[in-house]
Amino acid sequence: MKLKRNFTKVEEILKKHGYRKDNLIKILLDVQKEYRYLPEDVINYIGVALDISPAKIYGVATFYAQFSLKPFLFVMVLRVIWQVLLLLLAQ
């Protein structure tokens, strides 16, 4: 069962930036500071709130290196698994 996210923090961030499309990068930076990455449901929520397609938001998020679409721990686990596989294959 998937838990529903409370968007109170996202609303605070959007309000802080005046719900302005031209503040999208600042909004994404604040969201990432809050969640440590950019969750898919939050990106969709921001898209609806700012009347921007989620595809455009993903485009911005993937263009700039400082944004992460995966949780930090998930990425670290994948890197460790990759390194172990490389070591095993090298033997």
Assigned token pair, 42: 């939050």
Give the span between the Cα atoms of 48 and 14, in whole angstroms: 12
Query: Cα dist. 8→5, 16, 18, 62, 72 in Å?
Result: 9, 12, 15, 25, 22
Largest pairwise CA distance in the chain: 57
Average pLDDT of the residues of the chain: 89
Instruction: Name the CATH superfamily, with its identifier, for domain 8-90.
Output: NADH-quinone oxidoreductase subunit E (1.10.10.1590)
pLDDT in tens, 40-76: 999 999 999 999 999 999 999 999 988 988 876 666 6
Question: pTM of this prediction?
Answer: 0.75
Q: How confident is the model at residue 2 (pLDDT cuts 50, 70, 90)?
A: low
In this prediction, residue 22 carries a pLDDT of: 97
Which pLDDT value is given to residue 3?
Answer: 56
The answer for residues whose C-beta is within 8 angstroms of residue 36's C-beta and 6 or more apart is 68, 71, 72
